[in-house]
Chains A and B, each alone.
Chain A
Amino acid sequence: MSAENKSTEKVSFFARPAVQSILASLLCIVFGLLIGYIALLFINAKGATEAIITIIKNYFTYPTKAAALKYFGNTLVKAAPLLMCALSIQFCYQAGLFNIGAAGQYVAGAGASLFCALKLGLPWYVCLIAAFVAGGIFGIVVGILKAYLNVNEVISGIMLNWIGLYTVNMLLSGVKETASPYTVTLASTNKAAVLPSIGLEKFFSNNKYVTIAIPLAILIAVLLKVILSMTVFGYEIRATGIAKDAAKYSGMKEKRNIILTLFIGGALAGLGAAFLYLTGYEQWSVTQSSVPGMGFNGIAATFLGGLDPIGTIFASYFIQHITSGGSYLDKNIYPSQISDFISAIIIYLCGFVLFFKYFLNSRIRNKKNNAEGGNK
């Protein structure tokens, strides 16, 4: 009797959607790392174990606590824009839209914020708004094409990614360093455009790149969670995503919602870029010929986060953690892209999550049925 009670308790535990999501994500991570490890074994078996540990340890490889904290800060600095991209994709996904254009919206945000900061000499908050608007406009284009002309948002998004890249390269070639393809630094050109750190850097061994971007990104994630689950707007967005026709039937303005959703999604991604480039951590290279991967890694983070804004905070951190970890590999033995490889594997595995949940639920149901049958 007691044994049976235990089993039913256990069953109900695994039946919880949140538990299933976390379990699925953990499995994706484990398998992703495992496959990454196998790849490392192929490249060079001798150092593979150490290499995978390096990736997982990331900044913990530094012996002193101070150094580790500093580089922990760096990972956070890059996790914030990643989180924003992930939130962008997620918000749109709730409305049934796959915003692969987040990468291009991110580029637009980078271009707008850097242009305002370096060329126009505007302060940081104006640059943030510029990035928000620029990303949003890119999103709106996708939205209008989708809502009124039935253009697949994935294809138009990709096209805009490239258009954005070349446009921004052109735009920023006026503010690049003479000797390199990189834009001039914020610190030397316009200090007022650097995001304020409000003393956060002290917690990270004076890592000056740690700014309000990080808490802001987390705050926005929480805000999105609230919007999606508690507001009328969220109710409409999700209804549109799950059942477009029912949403239309009930009088929701689906075209307006599609465009608005993509505007917000685009704006989030654009803001994400500003969260990185306005820290001065990175400079834009005007000769780059591929779209920055941040927007694509956002896909990994959002699905790994179980399509939940809060889960995505952790997932974004994790993705960035292993990405940063990859850069500590011995470059003369292992390519650092092994981290991207692991991220990509994780996204692929996320494709199986639905099936996994379905499998889990049918197992639980069968078990329950059997248990009931046994009682009779």
Chain B
Amino acid sequence: MVLLLQYTLLFASVLILVALGGCFSEHSGVINLGLEGIMVIGALGGALTLKYINPSLPKLLIVLAVLGTSILCGVIYSMLLAFACINFKADQTLVGTALNMLAAAAATVIVKSINIAENPDNVSSTVQYVTAKKALVVNIGKFQFNWFMLVALIALIASYIVLYKTRFGLRLMACGEHPQAADSVGINVYTMRWAGVLISGLLAGIGGIVYITAGVSEWKFENGVAGFGFLALAVMIFGQWKPVNIGLAALLFGFFRALSNVYSGFDFLAALNIPGSVYNMMPYIISLIVLALTSANSRAPKAEGIPYDKGSR
């Protein structure tokens, strides 16, 4: 039971972070379908930090270093989306998809190259971080607290404040709803959209490292992040682009995802003898159902997905 709670919170943290990322991007008017790819790159940065960092450093330092590199990688990678979609008005769906594929390929190439350089016979795409990973967690009784849960909570509260209480949030949302209006009062729509996308890169980057350190001590980068970026988008839609609702939606999705990790630990579930694949499918099936129920009346930012062109007023 504790394990189920622990995994629920962990996966919910991932979903919260990434969904908030999507939320910032979409509120600025850019649909970020590249979240999945940003997660992979963020995860890669974090994983390599874990691999190379001296495990005897203070734990806090390790956590911060991992966080820092993941953020950096996520932000830099999201620039590719911002550049193409905002400045060059590229098709947001196409570029997002390209980023997902690029991330998977690039991460695999990078990890394999590193592995090959270390040992020409090791052609796997796996990064191991057994020892350093211990810095990320604190055992409270049976419950393994992960610092990233705290990070997700902070991100959630901060997002709420930034979106609804600050000048930045007001301007950001104006750009996603009615960019011409924002432009007419002197707000630079391009800058705000860049900001939205970069924040999504920041959050999705963290989400990536949280995902690959949840319960495992190594990651095979050929596998990417198994559609989690898209699950996060479903969470965001279910949460109607509002931080608090996103938090709740993430808990629901996190629960079903956690179930696939720990179902064998429950006697009554194990007794049902349902194949593991069914549990694996659960989050995706749930999200399809949720999308079907919520999409018809969605309150998506009105101008999302439409490139802003200064000329057309």
Contacts and interface: CB of A to CB of B under 8 A. Distances in A.
The answer on direct contact between A and B (beta carbons under 8 Å) is: yes
Interface of A: 39, 43-44, 98, 100, 145, 149-152, 154-156, 158-163, 166-167, 169-170, 289-290, 293, 296, 299-300, 303, 331-335, 337-338, 340-341, 343-345, 347-348, 350-352, 354-355
B222 A159 contact: no
Contacts of A43: 109, 113
B288 A341 contact: no
Contacts of B284: 159-160, 162-163
B295 A150 contact: yes
Contacts of B233: 155
Give the interface size bracket for B toward A. 35 or more
A154 B234 contact: no
Contact of A351 (B98, B109, B281, B296): B98
Interface stretch (B62-70, B161-169, B272-280): B272-280
Chain A, interface SS category? helix
B84 A351 contact: yes
Chain A to chain B: the 9 pairs with minimum beta-carbon distance, closest first: A351-B90, A335-B112, A344-B102, A340-B105, A347-B98, A348-B98, A166-B277, A341-B105, A344-B101
B116 A158 contact: no
B288 A166 contact: no
A351 B105 contact: no
B277 A170 contact: yes
A43 B111 CA distance: 11
A344 B109 contact: no
Contact of A161 (B227, B278, B296): B227
Contacts of B293: 149
B141 interface: no
B102 A355 contact: no
Contacts of B298: 150
A154 B93 contact: yes
Contacts of B120: 332-333
A343 B292 contact: no
B306 to A, nearest CB: 14
Given A163-B284, A348-B84, A340 B101 contact: yes
B88 interface: yes
A350 B94 contact: yes
B105 A352 contact: no
B292 A151 contact: yes
10 contacts: A39-B109, A145-B288, A159-B288, A162-B284, A334-B116, A335-B113, A335-B125, A341-B102, A341-B106, A352-B90
Contacts of A169: 277
B299 interface: no
B226 A290 contact: yes
Given A290-B223, A350-B94, A355-B90, A156 B101 contact: no
Interface in B40-91: 80, 84-85, 88-91
B303 interface: no
Contacts of A296: 97, 100-101
